[in-house]
Structure 1
Amino acid sequence: MNHVHSLFFLIFTTLILPACGSDNTQSTTSNKSSEAPGFVQLNTHFFSVSCAQSSCHSGEKGAGGLSFDNPKTAYEHLLSGQLSNITAGELGFKLVKSGQPAQSFLLHKLITDSTSLAVEGLGAQMPIGDLQAPGKKTLQAVKGWIEAGAPYDGLDFEADFTTNESVDIYTQCDATDEEGMLACFGTPPNPAEVMRLHTKALTIPAGSELLVCSHLPITPEKDIFFRAMVGHQMPGGHHIALYSAFAPVNSDTPVPCGTGSEMENYRFLAGAFSGGKALVPDTIAVRLPAGQQLVIQSHYINSTDKPITVMDVLDLTLTTPDDPNSIADNLVLNLSEFEIPAQSTGYEVSYTCGVGREIDIYSIVGHTHEHGTLLELEHTSAATGTTLLYSESDGVLMREGGSPVVLDSPLHLVPEDKLTIRCRWDNPFNEVLTYPTEMCAAIMYYTPAVGFLVCGEGDEVPQIFGAESGTPGCQTLDAPGNKNGVGKACTATGGECAENEKATLCLALFDPTANFCSFLGCETDADCGDDAICHPESGSSACVPLICSD
């Protein structure tokens, strides 16, 4: 059987608090103020409570390189961290500018609402999640600390917290039952114009975060198209994403999903950050594929000392494309065969893929995990030479959805053009890091859509997932399969596997020669049933009929 590409997840549009350049102030942990709180007190009562979540400013390498787990390291970074938000630097900000609160990006991100920050090009209000936002006393303590020269130690203070209810990015709701929570999102839109999707009620324990996938009882019988998506989340929401499942999951209970092999079953469609608009350029239409179950991924952070109950809603603005060339799909450069040596710094891999067809690119987002230190995407053409399209150096930021780029105008590519992806990592561990613990992927929207395009190691041009192919399949066209459905003949978009008891995934989605039904995650040949074997592939496994096993 041909190589089956490993798929991956993407969560879009989080804009984490970036590190900024310092002025000439030298950070020292020996200075102490008798007039204002110090960083020690701020970290104890505020930063470690509201900001040190595992997906934000915690762990070995927090978002923007800022982790509050080690107070001395965090303090030094706040006063001398390197600039990563270009716009903030152009506006004269430093992360913390000693003696100048108005030019301290940290304070600006705490006191300015997300709408205003977005207009300025400075991301979202901190802390993300809206639940443990600093109150008036806490904000005054942060301001006073900066005014006093940002000392490491100082006076104790009493922190207070609030929720930014004036900020309308979250849906406020007192109800905890499904019907009552749905009512909090207002009157449902006209279903002829907007498709509304929602999760069940989700409960997040105190002081924890939740990343789950809700499998909706919706599998379109024919392709549906949308031109915009708006995500609605309740306080604590970090992001919401829409996927389709290659193989349906019959579960009413949301299941954990994130960076593991379970994401190989999901195809990313669109995502939104903290209850906002998805990154879908206005001029394209995105397809909800026929025969694939719809899935909502929800990410919440509960930084309070009490459990919270929430719900997510997605509104998809429907469209009927007049021009088939406006239908978009994903083009992905995805590397999965790297091995990052133990205790290594700056380990780098790159791969060049020919475009192979005439297409337009509309947006780009990079994806590594937290040990990534660089992801670049280059375009090379005979006419213009080599151009850097995308560059990001913050692995935590990319893990949480990256910094997406929407091109000012579509980039037109011709078959002879080439795209090169380059990733770099630091590995502090005593063991080798491989896929999917780390990742290297660049994801783009492209038109005209011919299917889900993926290019990985060994591919000269992107391979088409979800499109018919003239390549002969290994299975006979009328094969019924065994009692599990393994080996039943299928086509990439025909839905022939949907009624099988177990083998509900058509592998033709990944490899046009693998025109048979299967399922992932088998452990032994016996799991697959008669006339089939369990075939290991790219960190996962799939059942393969004997006729296709050579």
Structure 2
Amino acid sequence: MRILHSCYLSLIFTIPLMADAPGRLPGFNVPAPDPGVLEIQTPILGEVKAGKEAILCTYLEGELADDLYIESYGAFQSSVGAHHAVLYTVKKHRAPGTYECGSIEESMQEETTFLAGTGGDSPTGPGTKVNLPAGVLFRAAKGQQIMIQTHWLNYTNQPLRGQAVFHIQSRKPEPSDKIADFFFVSTSKLYLNPEDKHREAQGRCTMREDLTFFMTAGHMHEYGKHVKVTLKRKEGETMTLIDHAWNPHFTAVPPAYLEQIQVRKGDELIVDCTYKDKIDKPLSYPTEMCGAIGFFYPARKTMVCFDDQMQ
């Protein structure tokens, strides 16, 4: 049993051993957390076979004894094969352990709350300290279970084991604070044919309420060539948030638009993607993607929108 202390809250839960291993993955060097910072980690995860992809969901034992309000975090994922690592809370409890959790679209259909992340499904890179804007917090609700989702792409010729670690800085909330969460806008209809001359995809989502975005980034994988993220006002005016050539390195550390943006009900977020001129096989979602990721407030839960359909 591990007792983990934040600056004003104690959490008690067990890291599941399963067929995985406890402790720290050899060679995965994570700095010690600062005093008053909560550290949460997965076990050393089971093997991902050579040439394979895996999306894993690690559920920790127990539940939050009280609400936890997060003002900053750092997230770390062992580098080989890393796509992303995200710390969530979930309402639906599950037996502790690590499970294959299907596609990202499927796993995000479970009602989740984003707490911290790194890599492709978070607009920040590994080890980066993320400070939320003044008066904005992520909230982990009392009674919910901690779940860590990790995504691995093993392009090596050897089995892969990985691990993720999170450092969480919390504080007591103020009445004026706003609660934030993560958004993901994409398309699940992406299909790239080697014989096509023009390889393009588009994801879009109409906002159902007034929101504020912060830390917005594009999201593609290794065959990406260019990504553009546009906010289209319901009156027709457009604002370009992201517009740059794609580098596979951006899958883990995407360039982000950091300004806060007021988004109104009826506005549309549009993601346009183009892909490399040469591909050697047909590609579809989720092997390749066309998406926008970021944070928003006020939030009740994670916002996932595929092809203008809220999940």
TM-score, normalised by the number of residues in structure 2: 0.66
Partner of 2:221: 369
Partner of 2:231: 379
Q: CA deviation at 1:405?
A: 1.0
Q: Given the alignment of the two structures, is residue 230 of structure 1 paired with residue 82 of structure 2, yes or no?
A: no
Q: CA deviation at 1:226?
A: 0.7
| Alignment partner of 1:439 out of 272, 289, 311 | 289
Matching residue's letter, 2:286: P
- Higher mean C-alpha displacement, 352-361 vs 378-387: 378-387
1:15-68 deviations in whole A, cap 9, x for unaligned? xxxxxxxxxxxxxxxxxxxxxxxxxxxxxxxxxxxxxxxxxxxxxxxxxxxxxx
| Alignment partner of 1:219 out of 63, 69, 74 | 63
1:175-209 deviations in whole A, cap 9, x for unaligned? x9739x9xx9658844xxx433122345879x999
Native 8 Å contact 1:259 1:437 kept in 2: no
Which whole-Å CA distance do the structure 1 matches of 2:308 and 2:40 have between them?
A: 39
Which whole-Å CA distance do the structure 1 matches of 2:307 and 2:152 have between them?
A: 35
Q: Which structure shows the bigger proportion of residues in helix conformation?
A: 1
1:332-363 deviations in whole A, cap 9, x for unaligned? 32212344345224322335543343221111
For the residue of structure 2 that corresponds to 1:313, the secondary structure is: strand
1:240-265 deviations in whole A, cap 9, x for unaligned? 4313446444243x446696666446
Query: Where do 1:481-496 residues align within 5 Å?
Result: none
Q: CA deviation at 1:404?
A: 3.9
Partner of 1:449: 299
Change (3 A) 1:314 1:208: farther
Which whole-Å CA distance do the structure 2 matches of 1:235 and 1:353 have between them?
A: 32
Which whole-Å CA distance do the structure 2 matches of 1:240 and 1:449 have between them?
A: 21
Q: Given the alignment of the two structures, is residue 333 of structure 1 paired with residue 185 of structure 2, yes or no?
A: yes
- The structure with the largest alpha-carbon Rg is 1
1:484-532 deviations in whole A, cap 9, x for unaligned? xxxxxxxxxxxxxxxxxxxxxxxxxx4xxxxxxxxxxxxxxxxxxxxxx
Q: CA deviation at 1:225?
A: 2.0
Partner of 1:343: 195
| Alignment partner of 2:42 out of 179, 199, 203 | 199
Which whole-Å CA distance do the structure 2 matches of 1:348 and 1:308 have between them?
A: 32
CA RMSD of aligned residues (A): 4.5
Partner of 2:248: 396
Which whole-Å CA distance do the structure 1 matches of 2:69 and 2:290 have between them?
A: 29
Matching residue's letter, 1:377: V
| Alignment partner of 1:281 out of 132, 140, 143 | 132
Unaligned runs of 5+ in 2: 1-20, 120-124
Native 8 Å contact 1:360 1:412 kept in 2: yes
Partner of 2:9: none
| Alignment partner of 1:242 out of 68, 87, 101 | 87
Change (3 A) 1:227 1:350: same
Change (3 A) 1:352 1:257: closer
1:444-491 deviations in whole A, cap 9, x for unaligned? 2111224333333355xxx4xxxxxxxxxxxxxxxxxxxxxxxxxxxx
TM-score, normalised by the number of residues in structure 1: 0.41
| Alignment partner of 2:279 out of 413, 417, 428 | 428
Q: CA deviation at 1:383?
A: 8.5
For the residue of structure 2 that corresponds to 1:391, the secondary structure is: strand
Q: Which structure shows the bigger proportion of residues in strand conformation?
A: 2
Q: CA deviation at 1:276?
A: 1.3
Native 8 Å contact 2:108 2:304 kept in 1: no
Query: Where do 1:56-455 residues align within 5 Å?
Result: 178=23, 189-190=35-36, 194-201=37-44, 212-220=56-64, 223-231=67-75, 240-245=85-90, 247-252=92-97, 254-255=98-99, 263-264=107-108, 267=112, 268-272=114-118, 276-283=127-134, 284-289=136-141, 292-297=144-149, 312-323=164-175, 326-381=178-233, 385-394=237-246, 396-398=248-250, 400-407=251-258, 409-426=259-276, 428-429=279-280, 431=282, 433-455=283-305
Q: Which has the higher contact order (CA 8 A, sep 6+)?
A: 2
Native 8 Å contact 2:227 2:243 kept in 1: yes
Native 8 Å contact 2:70 2:115 kept in 1: no
Q: CA deviation at 1:377?
A: 0.9
1:56-88 deviations in whole A, cap 9, x for unaligned? xxxxxxxxxxxxxxxxxxxxxxxxxxxxxxxxx
Native 8 Å contact 1:216 1:294 kept in 2: yes
Q: CA deviation at 1:293?
A: 2.7
Q: How many residues align?
A: 277
Which whole-Å CA distance do the structure 1 matches of 2:285 and 2:22 have between them?
A: 40
Matching residue's letter, 1:277: T
Q: CA deviation at 1:412?
A: 1.6
Change (3 A) 1:208 1:320: farther
Query: Where do 1:501-512 residues align within 5 Å?
Result: 510=311
Change (3 A) 1:237 1:413: same
Which whole-Å CA distance do the structure 1 matches of 2:224 and 2:161 have between them?
A: 34
Q: CA deviation at 1:228?
A: 1.0
Which whole-Å CA distance do the structure 2 matches of 1:458 and 1:447 have between them?
A: 19
Counting aligned pairs with the same residue, the percent is: 23
Native 8 Å contact 2:75 2:166 kept in 1: yes
Unaligned runs of 5+ in 1: 1-175, 464-509, 511-550
Q: CA deviation at 1:285?
A: 0.7
Partner of 1:113: none
Q: CA deviation at 1:435?
A: 2.7
For the residue of structure 2 that corresponds to 1:397, the secondary structure is: helix
Native 8 Å contact 2:40 2:167 kept in 1: yes
Which whole-Å CA distance do the structure 1 matches of 2:233 and 2:298 have between them?
A: 20
Native 8 Å contact 2:203 2:291 kept in 1: no
